[in-house]
Amino acid sequence: MSLASKLIFNTYRSTSLGAFCRSYSRHKRVTKRKDDHASDPRKSTRYPFVPGDPVQGDAIRSLAAGTNIAVRKNPKPTTTRTIQKIKSQTNLFRTDSGLQYEKIMEGDYRLGRTILAAKAGKSQGQDDTIVLEGTRLIRDALLLGAEPKFLYFTDPAVLDKLPAECLAGVGLMKILYRDMKTWSDTTTPSGLLGVFKKPHAGEVSVPRDQTLPITVVMDGLKDPGNAGTIIRTAAAVGCERVIAVRGTVNIWEGKVVRSAMGGHFSVPLHWGLSWAEVGGYVAEDSLVLLADTQDGRMLDRAFDHTMSLEELDKLGVQDEGVYGSDTDTEATEQSVQKAERQRERWAYPFHKVPMAVCDYSQLQLPPGGWGVGGVTPHTPPTVTPTPPSITLVLGGETQGLSGQAKKFAFDRYGQYVTIPMCPSVDSLNTAVAAGVILYELRRRLVQ
């Protein structure tokens, strides 16, 4: 066979083989795609059957009615033409109570855009928004005066559990269950998700009946569950405010809000403050209590009793170069964090500074409280006692109280307050310790 004949034969063979392979591969892809889009979700090998899933329930009912619904696994990207088509097909419905809601079609971009903006803290409006999940949490938030923007749900019947007078002007939207699972932070969504306006610092919508002069300061708490429980306990006790200094978990994180169960809207909150700024929210004569889980004898061993008065006076002098570094409005986040580290290194010696240690049950409040020396049986009824101001500082779960917190207490003649425990237990949960001390303070103030 000549060279030209061999070239023609090899070219024909490779072309035929390539065409056969491409045809066979295309046939396999088409066959696989048809198998994947099984109409009966109960028999599908790719999509697990979940009882109660409204999407799969619609598919089963449609199959029983004789119509075949195939759900695409990889839908095409949403285009401008698709968005216009979705808007033209938007349907409005009403519940039995007369509330009007909108049914969001598949591919609508508004849900994801709104949730992402709320979770990132970058809403398009002037005010930031937060995401709340759960029927009870959203109902309590509405009753406490929280301002809702949008409510997303899978079953319109859930709206009957919410106060109808609080839903005027709120965007009510029915979404698919799979979209709810996509944007929910929980493994099993409750079927109701809301986007609310974030309250400003120190803002409470509903007037408070009783307020005790107690300020709770969270110093470096990292666990969102503990932070939410402390906020909820402070709201139940009737504390004046709750402050989260820098280094504490974001108090508007989803798990913190769920743990607080509406406490964010019951007590004034201040977050992102430095210890230099905390002094502006605490009275000069406030009794500062450092909550510590260690025994008094253990704390006494950690103190350096050899410190002289001259050394203590040097520690009490503030370094203006360090404490004035974050007052510039143009300071970046990196420079602020660097200044915080410098402050903590400078305040480290206060871990060994001796201060008074007292058991929480033997705590002595300053004169002026209700039934603590400010009022006697012979006091005229027209005289109103002035309760003492108390500041309770709670440290983190692992590192405990910071050096800046101890310096803050040292400058205001503060003291440690401890909770006795069995020798086999060396620590106590921060939220539990806060509840024990706060209710003891409440008992003493209102007795």
Query: Is 216 found in the same domain as 164?
Result: no
Sequential DSSP letters for 191-234: SEEEEEEPPPTT--SSPPS--EEEEEEEES---HHHHHHHHHHH
Q: Which tokens hold the place of 445?
A: 């103030």
Distance CA 251, CA 249 (A): 6
Q: What pLDDT was estimated at residue 428?
A: 83
Contact between 226 and 202 (Cβ < 8 Å): no
Pick the last residue of a domain from 151, 168, 197: 197
Q: Going residue by residue through the chain (447 aa), what tens digit of pLDDT does each one get?
A: 565 565 555 555 555 545 444 444 444 444 444 444 446 777 776 666 767 677 777 778 777 776 554 444 555 555 666 555 555 555 788 888 888 999 887 777 888 888 888 887 654 444 689 999 999 999 999 999 999 999 999 999 999 999 999 998 899 999 999 889 988 888 889 899 999 999 999 998 888 888 999 999 999 999 999 999 999 999 999 999 999 999 899 999 999 999 999 999 999 999 999 998 999 999 888 999 999 867 667 777 778 877 776 776 666 554 444 444 454 444 566 777 788 788 888 888 888 888 889 999 988 887 654 333 333 333 444 444 566 899 999 998 778 899 999 999 998 999 999 998 887 877 788 999 999 999 999 999 987
Query: Could you tell me if residue 37 is inside a domain?
Result: no
Residue 351 covered by a domain: yes
344 and 305 share one domain: yes
* Biggest alpha carbon–alpha carbon distance for the chain: 129
The region, left, alpha or beta by phi > 0 then psi within -120 to 50, assigned to residue 246 is: beta
**Tell me, what CATH number does 402's domain have?**
3.40.1280.10
Q: Kindly state whether residue 394 falls inside one of the protein's structural domains.
A: yes
Burial class (CB in 10 A: 0-12, 13-18, 19+), 148: buried
- Same domain? For 359 and 424 the reply is yes
CATH number reported for the structural domain that contains residue 97 in this entry? 3.30.1330.30
Would residue 342 count as lying in a domain? yes
Residues 134 and 238 in one domain: no
Same domain, 160 and 245: no
pLDDT score for 37? 44
Answer for the pair 282, 255: CB distance below 8 angstroms, yes or no: no
Query: Among 137, 169, 197, where does a domain finish?
Result: 197
**Tokens 């360090």, located at residue:** 322
Helix, coil or strand: residue 171 = strand
Residue 57 lies in a domain: no
* CB burial string 3-25: b at 16+ within 10 A, e below: eeeeeeeeeeeeeeeeeeeeeee
Question: How many domains does the structure of the chain reveal?
Answer: 2
Q: Quick one: 281 and 169 in the same domain? A: no
291 and 154 in a common domain: no
Say how many residues make up the chain. Answer: 447
Domain finish residue from 140, 173, 197 = 197
pLDDT of residue 268: 95
Q: Are residues 303 and 280 in the same domain?
A: yes
In a domain, 269, yes or no: yes
1: in domain: no
Reduce the DSSP state of residue 102 to 3 states and report it: strand
Q: Label each residue of 4-36 as H, E or C.
A: HHHHHHHHHHHHHHHHHHHHHHHHHHHHHHHHH
Do 187 and 218 belong together in one domain? no
DSSP-based three-state secondary structure for 106: coil
pTM of model > 0.85: no
Residue type present at position 429: N
Domain boundaries, position 420: 212-318+331-446
Domain co-membership, 97 together with 181: yes
111 and 189 inside one domain: yes
Q: Which residue has the tokens 């004898």?
A: 297
**Same domain membership, residue 261 and residue 184:** no
Q: How far apart are CA 269 and CA 175, in angstroms?
A: 33
In a domain, 23, yes or no: no
